């Protein structure tokens, strides 16, 4: 599991995928989230602008990421 440091809360889910380089664009992130390809805290997430906080866990493309407020 990889840790992603965030500097503020909340952060929108699609922005995390984009800024961490997991997708090429914000539009791609929104499409993948809308298609149900992202899980947050063990549940499929389809809200593109889901507000994320430190301690949340994202699962995407077989990888797990934990958010940590830096």
Q: What is the pTM of this model?
A: 0.93
Q: Give residue 12's pLDDT band: very low, low, confident or very high (50, 70, 90).
A: very high
Percent of the chain with pLDDT over 90: 99
* Structural domain for 39, as ranges: 2-69
| Count of domains forming the chain | 1
| Span 23-47, pLDDT tens digits | 999 999 999 999 999 999 999 999 9
Mean pLDDT of the chain: 97
Q: Give residue 68's pLDDT band: very low, low, confident or very high (50, 70, 90).
A: very high
Which CATH number does the domain housing residue 47 bear?
Answer: 3.10.290.10
DSSP string, 3-70: EEEESSS-EEHHHHHHHTTSSSSHHHHHHHHHTT-EEETTEEE--TT-EE-TT-EEEETTEEEEEEE-
């Amino acid at each position: 599991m990889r840790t992603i440091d965030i500097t503020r809360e909340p952060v929108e889910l699609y922005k995390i995928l984009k800024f961490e380089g997991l997708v090429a664009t914000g539009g791609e992130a929104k499409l993948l989230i809308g298609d149900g390809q992202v899980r947050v805290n063990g549940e499929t997430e389809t809200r593109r602008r889901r507000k994320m906080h430190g301690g949340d866990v994202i699962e995407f493309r077989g990888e797990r990421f934990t958010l940590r407020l830096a």
